[in-house]
A and B are shown apart, each in its own frame.
Chain A
Amino acid sequence: MKKKVLTLGLGMGLILGITMSGCGSENEEGAEGAPAGTTEQVERAEGEGESGANPFGVGPIQEEMNLPSEIDEQLAAKGEEIFKAKCTACHKIEEKYVGPPIKGVTERRRPEWIMNMILAPEKMIQQDPVAKQLVLEYNGAIMANQGLTEEEARAVLEYFRKIDTQS
């Protein structure tokens, strides 16, 4: 009898409960351009660019990425490998699980936002209105910081783009 976990998943994640994140003082530096979401913003959080919100999200990626339309297959394969090792405990491709499904994430979110959610989830779930809304929607499950490097996150992003190209 052998059944493996389906690798269905999603691009953002679960991460830490806001109140639990131990190193809280980081957040005091303020979310540049991303004030805490108002009710209205939260409700419309699916969209981007609400007044005041930084469409890139909060985190290390603050330059527009300008991705080529072609998928880099090699990079996507590497991303798939990383995703399977580090992300599938919480994300499935096609269905809601602990966190949102991966499929469609590159259509829902900007690539910079996805990168920041992977690289700096603690900041995102405290400061980015969309990420905050997702934590609420997912019953307080926070996106875990799995310690990916920027290069690794970029590979995972490429895998997500490939998924969305195929669909």
Chain B
Amino acid sequence: MMRKWRHTVLVSAIALTVLHGCGPKKESAKKNGGALDKASIAERVYVPPGEWDEFYAFLSGGFSGQLSVHGLPSGRLFKIIPVFSVDAEKGWCFNEETKAMCMTSYGFIPWGDLHHPDISQTNGELDGRWVFVNENNTPRVARIDLRYFETVEIIEIPNSAGNHASAFVTENTEYVVANTRFAVPVPQRDMPINQMKGNFKGAATFIKVDPETGRMSIAFQVLLPGFNYDLAHPGRGKSHGWMFFTSYNTEEAHTMLEVNASQNDKDYIAAVNWKKIEEYVNNGGGKKMKVKAAHNIYDEKTQMARTEWITEVIVVDPREVPGAVYFLPTPKSPHGCDVDPSGEYIVGSGKLSADITIHSFSKMLKAIEEGKVVDTVYGIPVLDFNATLAGVVKNACLGPLHTEFDGKGYAYTSCFITSEVIKWKLGDWQVVDRHPVYYSVGHIMIPGGNSRKPFGKYLVAMNKITKDRFLPTGPELCQSAQLFDISGDKMVMLLDFPTMGEPHYAAGIPAEKVVDRVAKIYPLEENEHPYAAKSEDEVKIVRKGNEVHIYMTMIRSHFAPDNIEGIKVGDKVYFHVTNLEQDFDIPHGFAIIGANTAEVLVMPGQTETVVWEPKAPGVYPFYCTDFCSALHQEMQGYVRVSPADADVPMKITLDDKPIGEVIIE
């Protein structure tokens, strides 16, 4: 089918009329976009039926533990990818294949708190292979494969707590980082809380990524002083090899942080020369520490997830690697830590300040060379603020948080307290435009906006407060994002769209960098699931004591077998269902009455498993839950369950004819 990318816009006024026909109007479109009227704005976001959006946007689902996939400029929601979360639609973390994905050293965790997506890069540019995301609560980093738009790997981060400065990738995806927002004893131990100061650590974890497979492994953890490491971005270009982390609570307060962590005029950006530490570790440096952390891997061939246990990591004391870590004083409790496309400017937004501080990478190197060290904190040299300073955006706004870049010499910063996005010029540090957002903006995202090559056409603002922007739905409102056109001198607000809660950061990429690699089916020939039946010839039933495995198939519109007898109360029945379809977008579902685990949705060529423990004798139906064809309503079958002591023979049939082997082990 021919698809047209939506580079130009076709239609117009109707959409806006419909979308904005009612509800409070706080501003006229004219105010929004100068001479633009509503119809003209509508044209810029309208994607006609059958056409495609120009960009993918991956928005964090925050406390839902999921990642949502939207199109830009339409804002349409395409998919919700379960990551650190069980999922009702697909049975993720419930079915036998994927339940290992929610395993941690704390046991099974149904959902976590997903914050920052970042797309893999090659030579500092988005390559569209994987999206990495972090879990803040129980520290983990996940990898989503953009061939399948599925989570394929989750690695737990030991020695960390509040994994917030994560999951940012270096410019060739050598590493994904994970730094600690809530300093903790390393290793964990029983001690008085008020003795935190000097005794807690922040583990800056560098996760190595295999360049071919994407497989992650913890390379080393740098044990930094016990501050709150908040966000990070990698150096790029000339600063490749360095990672920059903001910190706050350098006061090391353990209580009432809203006062006690705001005492110092300046906190630090930690500049970590990871290449130097990598070399140190490769030469045998660092200490091995015993840990326990889960490494969950989804094998796309066997279509099964497994947990491997990490039992040891290498920890590095930064004091033993001179020149590897420096602190750059930065006012005031800096939050966002963003590096411009050239790699020269490191932007620290002091969230309790009205100013935005910009450090210069080349000045930093010079300050190091010239020994402009003003202090040493826990053995880490603190560089002279004025020696590394490139500039300050004075009185930028209140509560500056995050900065993205358009690749045309401008930076955009979100301002939480004043609810606005400001545009300022790199080099002369002057604000050239500002625009209100509704309300209390957190992160902003320009596709590629934190890489060497931003696509400076759209900016998405992700807001913390929705209030009156949509029809009310009780006390709980949808989360919301707003889309701006940033192709001109002035920002133009185009669209409000609802998102999952809570959209922290997002990552965007031109769709054309992704679509050609996206899988349409799982080829049956490549299905190595140990319980797959890859044709109706391979159907069978196997009893091992009370455990019964049924190798079933599904195709429009029947199951094989569809009549099963010889199941007994007390059995644990595994339905291994393989979808024999090889056509794009033809999943089948499987559900059986009283199943306590999952209903599953099985993609073409895939095998998934439902466990069922019948409680009483009877005849019980199962059916396809995904409307698959005109005969979908006919896609059903029955299981006969007999008393535990019955001797009803095992029998599987289709169309009243025996099908497949019956094996009793």
Contacts and interface: CB of A to CB of B under 8 A. Distances in A.
- Which applies to chain A's interface (DSSP): helix, strand, loop or mixed? loop
A97 B654 CA distance: 11
Contact of B537 (A5, A19, A23, A139): A5
Q: Taking each of B535, B585, B661, which has the highest tally of chain A beta carbons within 10 Å of its own beta carbon?
A: B535
A97 B560 CA distance: 13
A88 interface: yes
Interface of B: 1, 50, 521, 524, 534-537, 539, 553, 555-558, 560, 580-583, 585-586, 627-632, 654-655, 657-662
Contacts of A17: 629-632
Contacts of B580: 86, 89
Given A141-B629, A144-B586, 6 more contacts: A5-B660, A86-B580, A140-B631, A142-B629, A145-B583, A147-B583
Nearest to B523: A147
A97 to B, nearest CB: 8
Interface in A1-50: 1-6, 14-20, 22-23, 25-26
A1 B652 CA distance: 10
Interface string A130-143: 00000000011110
The 5 closest A-B pairs by CB, nearest first: A17-B630, A140-B630, A147-B582, A3-B658, A145-B583
A85 B560 contact: no
Contacts of B658: 1, 3
Contact of A20 (B521, B534, B555, B628): B628
A64 to B, nearest CB: 27
Given A17-B630, A84-B537, A2 B661 contact: yes
B132 to A, nearest CB: 31
Contact of A5 (B557, B586, B659, B662): B659
B1 A26 contact: yes
B537 A3 contact: no
A1 B661 contact: yes
A117 interface: no
Given A5-B536, A25-B50, A146-B583, A89 B661 contact: no
30 contacts: A1-B661, A2-B661, A3-B658, A6-B657, A14-B556, A15-B556, A17-B629, A20-B629, A20-B630, A22-B585, A26-B1, A84-B535, A85-B524, A85-B535, A86-B582, A88-B535, A89-B553, A90-B555, A97-B655, A139-B631, A140-B630, A141-B557, A141-B630, A141-B631, A142-B556, A145-B582, A146-B581, A147-B521, A147-B582, A147-B583
B659 A3 contact: yes
A85 B628 contact: no
Contacts of B555: 89-90, 144
B536 A89 contact: yes
A5 B655 CA distance: 10
B214 to A, nearest CB: 26
A145 B553 CA distance: 17
Contacts of A88: 535-537
Nearest to A18: B630
A114 interface: no
Nearest to B524: A85
A74 B521 CA distance: 28
A144 B662 CA distance: 29
B558 A98 contact: yes
Interface of A: 1-6, 14-20, 22-23, 25-26, 84-86, 88-90, 97-98, 139-142, 144-147
A104 to B, nearest CB: 21
Q: Taking each of B536, B627, B657, which has the highest tally of chain A beta carbons within 10 Å of its own beta carbon?
A: B536
A14 B654 CA distance: 17
Nearest to B558: A98
A83 B371 CA distance: 75
A16 B535 contact: no
Contacts of A1: 658, 661-662
A107 to B, nearest CB: 26
Nearest to A17: B630
Nearest to B585: A22
Contact of A144 (B556, B627, B659, B661): B556
B582 A146 contact: yes
A144 B581 contact: yes
B604 to A, nearest CB: 8
B535 A89 contact: yes
A6 B537 CA distance: 9
Q: Taking each of B50, B629, B661, which has the highest tally of chain A beta carbons within 10 Å of its own beta carbon?
A: B629
B182 to A, nearest CB: 47
Contacts of A97: 655
A2 B558 CA distance: 21
Contacts of B628: 20
A16 to B, nearest CB: 6
B581 A142 contact: no
Q: Taking each of A86, A89, A140, which has the highest tally of chain B beta carbons within 10 Å of its own beta carbon?
A: A89
A144 B588 CA distance: 13
A137 B233 CA distance: 63
B50 A142 contact: no
Contacts of B660: 2-5
A81 B464 CA distance: 58
Q: Taking each of B521, B535, B556, B660, which has the highest tally of chain A beta carbons within 10 Å of its own beta carbon?
A: B556
Contacts of B632: 17, 20
Given A5-B560, A144-B555, A147-B583, A85 B629 contact: no
A34 to B, nearest CB: 19
B65 to A, nearest CB: 29
B646 to A, nearest CB: 18
A140 B50 CA distance: 26
A18 B661 CA distance: 35
Contacts of A18: 630
B1 A16 contact: no
A85 to B, nearest CB: 5
A18 B556 CA distance: 13
A26 B2 CA distance: 8
A141 B659 CA distance: 21
Contacts of A14: 556
Nearest to A20: B629
Contacts of A85: 524, 534-535
A18 B631 CA distance: 11
Nearest to B662: A1
Contacts of B661: 1-2
Given A89-B535, A144-B555, A20 B627 contact: yes
Contacts of B535: 84-86, 88-89
B247 to A, nearest CB: 50
A67 B662 CA distance: 44
Contacts of B524: 85-86
A142 B50 CA distance: 24
B586 A16 contact: yes
B87 to A, nearest CB: 22
A4 B653 CA distance: 10
A5 B654 contact: yes
A144 B661 CA distance: 26
Nearest to A90: B555
Contact of A16 (B629, B654, B659, B662): B629
B373 to A, nearest CB: 64
B560 to A, nearest CB: 7
A140 B659 CA distance: 25
Contacts of A16: 556, 583, 586, 629-630
